[in-house]
Chains A and B, each alone.
Chain A
Amino acid sequence: MTTFNTTKDLDAIKAYANVCFQCGVCMGGCPVARVNDRFHPRRLIRELAIGSSEDVLKGETIWLCAQCHICSETCPQGIGIPDLIIGLRNFAINIGVLPPESFVKNVKQLVETGRLVPPSSRIEQLRDRLGLGRIEQAAAEEVQHLITNTKFKKLVNSKRENQ
């Protein structure tokens, strides 16, 4: 299994795709492939290895992975497919692809409050009822300092036309 710490080298990602011998074990265990025929990890790897990586980067497939890691645990060639997909996601955003709306929403929320879910009076009331204390927003400032990658800024300021 492999993890990618940099997003820069698409060739490194493709090198892993090369060893795939198309056995389909990943497909057997993949939850998304079971219920959605638009997601096909085996074909994704093949496309990377011998097809068009540009199609892969600009397509919707890479965003449908549930990151459950069944495929990487069972792959007889040891290909870390979920990590590969994260690498592709990073790379895609680098070249200007907009991630799904839910991801953008999360980014905006994280930058604003340091968490994925905004505080609300409703939640405060619920917590009160259950005898739980307040939730502090202590992380926000430090998180903002740490997020220096310009991709985040672009996403925070992005607006979707339709959808």
Chain B
Amino acid sequence: MKNEDIRIGLYVCHCGFNIAGVVDCAQVAKDSEKLLGVVVSKDYKYMCSDPGQEMIRRDVEELDLNRVVVAACSPRMHEVTFRKCVESSGVNPYLFEMANIREMDSWCHSHVPKEATEKAKDLVAMAVAKVRFLKPLDTLKVPVVSKALIIGGGVAGIHAALDLGDMGYQVYLVERSTTIGGKMAQLDKTFPTLDCSICILGPKMVEIARHPNVELITNVEVTKVDGYIGNFQITVHRNPRYIDEELCNGCGECTKVCPIEVPNTYEEGLGPRKAIYVQFPQAIPMRYAIDRDACIECYKCVDVCTEQGRYAIDFGMEPQDMKLDVGTIVVATGYDMYDPGFIKQYGYGVSSNVVTALEIERMLNAAGPTFGRVIRFSDRKEPKTIAFVTCVGSRDKNAQIYCSGFCCMYTLKNAVLLKEHFPEMDIYIIFMDMRTNFKGYEEFFNRAREMGIKFVRGHPDEIFEDPETGNLILSLEDLSKGQPVDIEVEMVVLSQAVVPSKGTKELAQILTVSTDNSGFFLESHPKLKPIDSATDGIFFAGSSQGPKDIPYSVAQGSAAASRSARIMSHDEWEIEPIIAYIDPKKCRNKSVKCGVCATKCPYGAITVLENQEAIVTQAKCHGCGTCVADCPSDAISQQHFTDAQINAQIHAALDKNPEKKILGFLCNWCSYAGADLAGISRHQFPPNIRPIRVMCSGRVKREFVFEAFLKGAGMVMISGCHPADCHYISGNYNAEKRIKPVFKILENAGINPKRLRLEWFSAAEGEYYARIMREMVDFINELGEDTIRAENEKAKPLLERMIKRGT
């Protein structure tokens, strides 16, 4: 399209005062009128609103616009919204670009409105420059497999499975242990109603077993996930039960004759199970399993099973890998409890009568290891006095910094249950705060106080065991009195922190989803997309995403089912056409053996046959751009992120006063999101950075770096996900490999190599981003414009040669 034919509509959003409170939107709109291709330039209060969108539609029609730029919030917020708007007005939705002047400008530079306004003009110029080079694209349509995978059979996973199954979808529910039920199955009663936990969960578990659409696979781990939304290929590794599930009917004769007893993890180690076992009486599937580590292979179980005529035991069972094809994945892997033994001064594991919340839960349970008696481990006697300590390992910079959410409530519940069973027992709850924020919770707190449970506001610095009596002395300040006190009790229950389930980190890498700073799975948006992961088609439910109670987990289970069904209810799903395409004329594999692109692709999306041009399988390409950057013949291009488009942004960014600027390449999934978060959290830092969004750091060519310094940049930053967490698996590795030699090249050219930075940080690290921004600006100021200009000047010849050589 010739330049005269490009007609751009530019809209600068106020976003109420969010942007306009800092950036002079009218001025930005006015100044940007002169940008090449801009036909109309307006500012408006709320572009995403109906009238805002209507304005775009009207202008497209009346002014014959064929491209649109909206300067507003982050594209991760509203790119989809505006693309739809543009499409509805008849313009191809990919001829649209956003300038992020909120998260990356007004929100993080609110103290310097003038500079923020200048930055906004740059960001708009960059977006306009890019949009001029954009090409119309059609979305890809991929078929959708109407099956869902649910990882984790706790209360959240169970509800997700039942909802999806009821909707008619085929569901694979995979569970790591030998039975579903999760932590809820271990509880005695649930707050605030004091429902018996297994009584309300049990029927749901049975429903799973009976559901025609739910296939329950237990004793498995997910080991590999390939594919993309609508089309995931899952590999699960099934550990053998050594019992044939078809032949076993759960009669339990085998367990009666087994001579081996080991601690039962279901009972928190307080009670035994046999080497051939089910975890608890309501286990689903009600099939036995053999713990080979404990089993002595006496075969008594085999004898008795043979007598029964069932022949269900098979010591020869091998682990097997199963392959499942699904359209969506729900991750409901739950939580683990923090080991309070780490907090040595509380004496857990050393003092006999200091127990954890789950341990007392099992004792309170009438079917538990003590048949409902709560007893001290030192003398098996019931305590006359007991203290509950909250926030053990939570809200603690020495352990977990977050609040574990439901411990206040279960502490109250256990105390209430104890007081009901033993009205004469002296019960203390030692607490810093009481977090009772949902339906019926504050009322439950009232009930606890009415029952005469003693609430002492404070936090113990240590718990000492008197060796003679086994009693415990808690040292703390009674905050209400304002005095230090020693409270002596016969038993202490610790409400310890909740931590991510074991294996979360590894599973996150397998799924290519992110975890947050505390190790829980990271949702796409904390407010508006709490169920979605950043990877389309993968959803979170329950405590895997952060500690939560049962109703919240159930709600999220159903929500995840809904989000999955939203996709699976279509035969086809649209995928963004941000994929690689190879110019067959430029591909040199025809004449010389190459194939570099195929080696770089983590998805196997490129096929390279001898003496033929390399070909991209569109549906498999995820759009990282690594092959684009690594192709030695420059034969590959990435739709919507072409070299021309990126170079246009570089030029526009560095047009004025380049020496003060940091040209940044930020990857969509981690670093761009992290930078957004910095703005959302209102971290402040100087406005020197000019960010360019790429899908992956792997897209960044060396030539972009050279080009930036040629155009006078003060610093260049390339950022991506943490090393093992790349959304495209290996994009950041390839980026690092590719860019590492550039430091030396720059040094040889006369440029201080510290002016190039490689940074790896996650979507959760807004504070980190703000910090490194301040660091980099300090560095630029330290060097000074003159030094920077001189170095750039000196480097010119070498940089020009490097660019020529690359193309």
Contacts and interface: CB of A to CB of B under 8 A. Distances in A.
Q: Does a CB–CB distance below 8 Å link A and B in the complex? A: yes
Contacts of B396: 76
Interface string B378-389: 000000000000
Interface stretch (A20-28, A98-106, A132-140): A20-28
A158 interface: no
A31 to B, nearest CB: 10
Contacts of B397: 75-78
Contact of B458 (A21, A28, A76): A28
Nearest to B432: A23
A27 to B, nearest CB: 3
B461 A42 contact: no
A33 B477 CA distance: 10
A48 interface: no
Contact of B484 (A21, A33, A75): A33
A51 B391 CA distance: 28
Interface in A28-81: 28-30, 33-34, 37, 40, 42-43, 70, 74-78
Interface in B120-151: none
Interface string B516-527: 000000000000
B705 to A, nearest CB: 38
Give the interface SS of chain B, mostly helix, strand, loop or mixed.
Answer: loop
Given A76-B395, A78-B397, A24 B345 contact: no
Given A23-B432, A34-B484, A29 B475 contact: yes
A21 B432 CA distance: 9
Contact of A22 (B391, B398, B476, B479): B479
Contacts of A24: 458-459, 476-477, 479
B479 A74 contact: no
Contacts of A34: 484
A70 to B, nearest CB: 7
Interface residues of A, number: 22
A25 B460 contact: yes
B345 A74 contact: yes
Contact of A27 (B345, B432, B462, B484): B484
Given A23-B432, A24-B476, A24-B477, A76 B484 contact: no
Contacts of A22: 479
Range of interface residues on chain B? 10 to 19
A22 B459 CA distance: 10
Contacts of B462: 28-29, 74
A21 B397 CA distance: 12
A13 B787 CA distance: 37
Contacts of A74: 345, 461-462
Contacts of A78: 397-398
A106 B784 CA distance: 49
B483 interface: yes
Given A76-B398, A78-B397, A23 B484 contact: no
Contacts of B460: 25, 28
Nearest to B431: A23
Nearest to B483: A37
Contacts of B483: 37
A154 to B, nearest CB: 37
A41 B89 CA distance: 66
The interface centre, meaning the residue of A24, A26, A42, A75 with most chain B CB atoms within 10 A of its CB, is A24
A43 B482 CA distance: 9
A113 B483 CA distance: 43
A76 B396 CA distance: 4
Interface in B357-401: 391, 395-398
Contacts of A33: 477, 484
Contacts of A70: 461
Nearest to A40: B482
22 contacts: A21-B395, A21-B432, A22-B479, A23-B432, A23-B479, A24-B458, A24-B459, A24-B477, A25-B459, A25-B461, A26-B461, A27-B476, A27-B477, A28-B458, A28-B476, A28-B477, A29-B462, A33-B477, A34-B484, A42-B477, A43-B482, A76-B395
Given A29-B462, A34-B484, A76-B398, 14 more contacts: A23-B432, A23-B459, A24-B458, A24-B477, A24-B479, A25-B477, A26-B477, A28-B459, A28-B461, A70-B461, A74-B461, A74-B462, A76-B391, A78-B397
